[in-house]
Structure 1
Amino acid sequence: MSVDKEDHVVGGLKISVYKPSITTASVAVLFLLHGRHGSAAQVDGIARALAEKTSSSTHNRRTILIVTLEHRNHGSRLIDARANNSWTETEDNSRHALDMYAIQTGTARDVSFLIDFLPSYLFPHDESKIDSWGVVGISLGGHSTWIILSQEPRVQVGIPIIGCPDYIELIKHRAKASNIPFTAPYIPSSLLKLIEVSDPASRNHGSLDGSNPFLGKKILILSGEKDTLVPWAASKKFVEGLEVGPDGEKKVILQKGVGHKCTDEMVEQTATFIQAKL
């Protein structure tokens, strides 16, 4: 089935929408978030693959649209390239911990903004209704996916790929590997206080009552066994303790022999999960 790509500007935010030629009355939207140093253009192939794979087996039940956008300070939104760097790149960034958290949090807010407005932009005559929302993110986009799952109740399906739900654990690992002290100015106490109240790991994710924002959500977690940039060790405790309740689903795939990479197998697993859950 052919896939059309449409570009839109929603309140000043550029997005691309990948959709099959047939649109049903019931529509699901899946946001696809790229990685650090990346852009929406760099995930064009993945977006098309997901649109093609999911449209081939929807049986006109629900059309799935893939929406790409760029993280803040990336692609067409780039303002300061150095702010996207880590502590150890050629042009090192002393504010790496702060900048990375600000970007992934900002992108999560952008997704909520788009959920508010996309129905009106995409279907101005109310010809279809968006009744399901999901997010898949790669690396930095995976971090944002976890934040979205913890903060946005309208998103019920999430697929973090080589991402981490526990920012403190991740940045502790990265600071140690980079020989950076886990203190100010690299890690300001004000940043830690923010993370401690806003990060997914700060939520009551192990509870089976209403205080757990993950209850009922369908989550596929894809990581590489040999990932040293976003190591599984930083996510393991959170993921093992995560409760999604009887109406939710938690599936974990740790791909053997794979480092910090979104593989073809991960894309296949993503498409299969989307078909079943979105």
Structure 2
Amino acid sequence: MAPIAAHTITAWNKRISEGRAGKSPKGLIAVAFDQRNHGSRQVDKLANEAWRQGNERHAIDMYSVYQGTAMDTSLLINHLESYTFPTHTHRITTHLVLGISLGAHAAWHCLLQDPRISAAAIIVGCPDYTALMSQRAMKSKRKTWTSSKPAGSHFVGSADFPPALVEAVKASDPAGLLMRYNLAAQRAIAGAEGGLDAAEHVRLRPLFEKHLRGKKILAMSGGADKLVPYECGQPFYSFLKKAVGPGGWFTGQGVVFEDLVYEGVGHAVDPRMADRSMAWVGEVLTGELEGGVNEAKI
């Protein structure tokens, strides 16, 4: 992440020098750090592996790692200003997050769970942990997936996806928090021609007000990504677009959602993704982004 952080700073400073950052441009600080159990913080190598690599607790380990990283981000925000400006000469007023893969999963949590974070760039991440783990359990032919009829019907709540994990996902995962916790219902809601009924609006509005109002989201996915397939997050994306897009029931609340899919790109950071991320940071800082939805296959 250090090179992307450095390039983002350079791009912003260039924008300032060219007079494209407003009359009183903000300064930009980029902080890159290791995820829990990664890099200098690694304590258990196996915990970072998947079921196919012999980690029987894959779903539990992965969620706890990046949920914890999101908590670490909030902790850093609490104390960063004390280290950077101990004499209180400046204030940090805007917080953005950018994450790739596991960091992108964490970025979703940061955005929804910390009201100080107003924008997130999500690169090859997924907002629906249940869908992602269900897809992996199916591909890995886990007994908790294959032993039930229809296949997968008992996966959620099994030893591979325990009840306590189900509750954690309900409380903090974007899809788990904002859509009813049932994959069939999620897809039905996302694809329903008539949209949501009045009762669902009543349930969802306070959640959207608390977790999404005024937030800016850039989601970039690889169209050929097999590790984190776009299809796993697509129902949630459709659900979100219907809410905040033109004529949506939550339109006009300052939510920006840019959904870009790069055809032929796997689980990797395409240079175009990096370029768009850096430009997007500038657009957020200068207030150029307006509420609404922008989607494209590139």
TM-score w.r.t. the length of structure 2 is 0.75
What are the superposed Cα offsets for residues 146-189 of structure 1, whole Å, 9 maximum, x if unpaired?
A: 11111111100101100001100010011111111244322222
Report the counterpart of residue 50 of structure 1 in structure 2: 8
Counterpart residue number, 1:6: none
The 8 Å contact of residues 150 and 203 in structure 1, kept in 2 or not, is answered as: no
Deviation readout 1:103-150 (Å, 9 max, x if unpaired): 010001001111111111110011211000000100000100111111
1:99 offset after TM fit, Å?
0.3
Give the Cα–Cα distance (whole angstroms) in 1 for the partners of residues 236 and 134 of structure 2: 15
Where in structure 1 do 4 or more consecutive aligned residues deviate above 2 Å?
181-185, 202-211, 243-246
* Counterpart contact for 1:158–1:218, Cα < 8 Å: yes
Q: 2-side partners of 1:144 and 1:56: how far apart? A: 29
Tell me the residue number matched to 1:130. Answer: 92
1:56 maps to a residue whose letter is: K
Give CA-to-partner distance per residue, 1:183-221, whole Å, 9 cap, x none. Answer: 432222221222123211133379683421112111100
1:215 to 213, 216, 228: 213
**Matched residue, 1:65:** 29
User: What is the alpha-carbon distance in structure 2 between the residues aligned to residue 140 and residue 268 of structure 1?
Assistant: 20
Alignment correspondent of 1:197: 171
Whether contact under 8 Å (2:124, 2:267) holds in the other structure is yes
SS at match of 1:226: coil
CA RMSD, Structure 1 to Structure 2 (Å): 1.6
Q: State how many pairs are aligned.
A: 234
SS in 1 for 2:127: coil
Aligned partner of 2:270 among 241, 263, 270: 263
1:71 and 1:234 mapped to 2: Cα distance?
23
In structure 2, stretches of 5+ residues that fail to align are 146-154, 180-195, 245-250, 286-298
Q: How does 1:1-278 map to 2 (within 5 A)?
A: 43-58=1-16, 59=21, 61-89=25-53, 92-180=54-142, 181-182=144-145, 183=155, 184-204=158-178, 209-212=205-208, 213-242=211-240, 243-244=243-244, 245-246=251-252, 247-278=254-285
Could you tell me whether the CA contact under 8 Å between 2:170 and 2:177 is conserved in 1? no
SS of structure 1 residue aligned to 2:218: strand
Alpha-carbon distance in structure 1 between the residues aligned to 2:217 and 2:168: 25
Asked if structure 2 preserves the Cα contact closer than 8 Å seen for 1:158 and 1:220, the reply is yes
> Mean alpha-carbon deviation: is it higher for 49-58 or for 199-208?
199-208
Q: How far apart, in 2, do the equivalents of 1:61 and 1:144 lie?
A: 28
SS at match of 2:214: coil
Q: Which blocks of at least 5 consecutive residues in structure 1 are unaligned?
A: 1-42
Output the CA distance in 1 between the equivalents of 2:217 and 2:169: 22
**Greater mean alpha carbon deviation, residues 205-214 or residues 113-122:** 205-214
Counterpart in the other structure of 2:150:
none
8 A Cα contact 1:224 1:259, kept in partner = yes
Counting helix residues as a fraction of each chain, which structure ranks higher?
A: 2
Paired-residue identity, %:
35
Looking at structure 2, the residues matched to 210 and 55 of structure 1 have their Cα atoms a distance apart, in angstroms, of 38
1:79 partner letter: V
Secondary structure in 1 matching 2:29: strand
Give the whole-Å Cα distance in 1 for the aligned partners of 2:94 and 2:76. 13
